Structure 1
Amino acid sequence: MTPATDLIDRCRAFLPAMGPRMLFSHVTAALLHGLPLPAAMTDADPLHVSARAPMRAPRHVGIRGHQTRQPDDAIVSLHGLPVSSPVETWCQMASVLQERDLVVLGDALLTKRKPLATVDDLVLAVDASPCRPGIRRLRSATSRVRPRTESPMETILRLAIVDAGLPEPAVDYRILGATGEAAAHGDLVFPSARVVVEYDGDHHRTDARQYYIDVDRLWRIRSLGWEVVRINKSHMSGNAVEAIRRIRLALAST
């Protein structure tokens, strides 16, 4: 995800009114970093601006003010703007997000393609602020984040699998060939059952190159004797009931 040009322009327009100890934070910071948020939070109004203590939270029309005690290393320059770091932003969002959405956001920081943090970074940040709003949700979410996830829906599917009482699948698992070479990888994998669960987002269908890569990869996996369960958005409604049904059947048949 990339932030909308309109959001960046609005932040830049407010920049002259900001003091030297002020920065964009919370929802605004998450949007600027391109992090996934629930649909209800993707509206960029109001701008979230934090003032570092002892400065008080700013009060302006169209601004949601906060006071923070975050250190210098929890602030980055992004698009020429002072912004909470990705890890600090994740911690700040604990005050408004439910646990599942915090895990989705945390996984996005640890994504396979362009990771913005490590699990250790998240643990250290949580331990450093034991009185932070939403700290219980944050601690619980920290234990459930996993590196190398490829999409928010993959995270949601993984959480649904565990919440349904099934074993937790391995993320981005390497599948070995007959001679021990790395033959392919699976999104969510049950190694002992030799079952691979793949979440097919729209880009798997609309991106021709990705489609061809996936066809070949899944053929290699099946040729090695693994079962592949393909899940898409239509299977995720109603707490992913249909997705879980298909995965249960695959696990029961091994």
Structure 2
Amino acid sequence: MKHPLNYADYPAILSVSEARSRGASDYDIRSGRNFPSAAWGIRFDDSTPTQFPVPTWADDVWLGEAKLLRALAHRHPGVVACRETAARLFGWPLPPSSRSDNLHVAVSDTNKRIRRKGVTLHRMRVLRTVTWLGLPVLRPLQVFSQLASVCSVESLVKIGDAAIGDWKSPPQFSLENLTAHISGTRRLRARPKLQVAVGLIREDVDSPMETDLRLWAIAQNLPEPVVHPAVYCPTINQTLHPDLGYPKEKLALEYEGDHHRTSEYQWAADIDRVNALKIAGWTVIRVTKSTNRRQLERDIRQYLGLQ
């Protein structure tokens, strides 16, 4: 894994009998004092933590879900994270409408029961798993197809761009493998939606904002811009790759998040980059979240001769 990692202290996971062997009294067990409850029959012991790798971008929600997942897997062998939970652990950009506070886990045992507030159990006939940063998780291809039931096509495209790209985490699968999975899996829910989404997913996309901008252009019946077209800039003797562009017309679209404005270094680098592209004969349109999209559409149409 090439992405940098941090390490977090996870409490030891104990059964009730193990907690008692470490000196927990009946009151400790009932009240959760010293050995707080993780799941029925499972306790945490903060006095003997173990370090586990976590992504540098992981927040308290990520850490809490990872800790609970470890506890459930200890109490219920064979349990794996799935759906929204797995997507969050992978670092995929879920839309606000599909964000769930529940921990979604899956098992292959059709008779399995897990009765715990905040945990949703899914029983699956075919359960393919992978270990992700020491966590038991459903394979990314299955997770992606599960999300079709709670995500729009646009959201699936954004997630797909992230999953095959190099965003928060290394690529989880290739576009070729995703296409084969969708076409080759029997009894796949929301197959038409998945097929439409897969047809719009592109490689080498750097951020959700780039995906949004590209899908916006398609929705306005504009030609689909190329992701990261190669532009040789002789004044710096480098090949630059603007976010999106129309190579034949030499028009580049550059999305600039707030960090482009607040970082003095990034601001200077952006100016040098735009100057190099302009001298190479390209026109650069800079886009932010506050850009007037109607005017942006008019500008693109005018430049491409689509008026």
Report the TM-score range of the alignment, normalised by the length of the smaller protein: 0.7 to 0.9
Q: Residue in 1 aligned with 2:20? A: none
Which among 103, 108, 128 is matched to residue 162 of structure 2? 108
Q: Which has the higher helix share?
A: 1
- Equivalenced residues, count: 247
Q: Residue in 2 aligned with 1:93? A: 147
Q: Residue in 1 aligned with 2:79? A: 22
Aligned partners of 1:79, 1:112: CA distance in 2, in Å?
17
Amino acid at match of 2:94: L
Aligned partners of 2:89, 2:301: CA distance in 1, in Å?
39
Q: TM-score normalised to the size of structure 2?
A: 0.72
Largest Rg, 1 or 2: 2
Q: State the Cα distance separating 1:81 from its structure 2 match.
A: 1.8
Aligned partners of 2:115, 2:189: CA distance in 1, in Å?
21
Aligned CA distance change for structure 1 residues 42 and 210 (closer, same or farther; 3 Å)? farther
Q: State the Cα distance separating 1:14 from its structure 2 match.
A: 4.7
* DSSP-derived class of the 1:192 partner: coil
Q: State the Cα distance separating 1:230 from its structure 2 match.
A: 0.8
Q: Does 1:211 align with 2:267?
A: yes
Q: State the Cα distance separating 1:34 from its structure 2 match.
A: 1.0
Amino acid at match of 2:171: P
Q: TM-score normalised to the size of structure 1?
A: 0.86
Q: Does 1:80 align with 2:134?
A: yes
Q: Residue in 2 aligned with 1:118? A: 174
In the alignment, is the contact (CA less than 8 A) between 1:52 and 1:70 conserved in 2? yes
Aligned partners of 1:98, 1:57: CA distance in 2, in Å?
30
How does 1:66-77 map onto structure 2 within 5 Å? 66-72=122-128, 75-77=129-131
Q: Residue in 2 aligned with 1:158? A: 214
More RCO (CA 8 Å, sep 6+): 1
What does the per-residue CA deviation read over 1:165-184, in whole Å, with 9 as the maximum and x for residues that have no partner? Answer: 111111011012469x7532
* DSSP-derived class of the 1:228 partner: strand
What does the per-residue CA deviation read over 1:52-93, in whole Å, with 9 as the maximum and x for residues that have no partner? Answer: 244546443111221223444xx2223432112333222211
Amino acid at match of 1:84: L
Q: State the Cα distance separating 1:192 from its structure 2 match.
A: 1.2
Q: State the Cα distance separating 1:13 from its structure 2 match.
A: 2.9
Aligned partners of 2:211, 2:191: CA distance in 1, in Å?
21
How does 1:169-248 map onto structure 2 within 5 Å? 169-177=225-233, 182-235=238-291, 240-248=293-301
Q: State the Cα distance separating 1:130 from its structure 2 match.
A: 3.6
Q: Does 1:48 align with 2:104?
A: yes
What does the per-residue CA deviation read over 1:137-181, in whole Å, with 9 as the maximum and x for residues that have no partner? Answer: 1111011100111111110110111121111111011012469x7
Aligned CA distance change for structure 1 residues 120 and 46 (closer, same or farther; 3 Å)? same
Q: Does 1:13 align with 2:75?
A: no
Identical aligned residues as a percent: 31
Q: Structure 1 unaligned segments of length 5 or more: list them.
A: none
Aligned partners of 1:93, 1:82: CA distance in 2, in Å?
18
What does the per-residue CA deviation read over 1:107-131, in whole Å, with 9 as the maximum and x for residues that have no partner? Answer: 0112255433211121122123242
Aligned partners of 2:291, 2:57: CA distance in 1, in Å?
27
In the alignment, is the contact (CA less than 8 A) between 2:72 and 2:79 conserved in 1? no
Q: Structure 2 unaligned segments of length 5 or more: list them.
A: 1-55
Aligned CA distance change for structure 1 residues 57 and 205 (closer, same or farther; 3 Å)? farther
Aligned partners of 2:247, 2:166: CA distance in 1, in Å?
20
Q: Does 1:36 align with 2:93?
A: yes
Q: Does 1:249 align with 2:305?
A: no
Q: State the Cα distance separating 1:253 from its structure 2 match.
A: 8.8
What does the per-residue CA deviation read over 1:158-217, in whole Å, with 9 as the maximum and x for residues that have no partner? Answer: 0111121111111011012469x7532111110111100111112222333333322211
Amino acid at match of 1:31: R
* DSSP-derived class of the 1:214 partner: helix
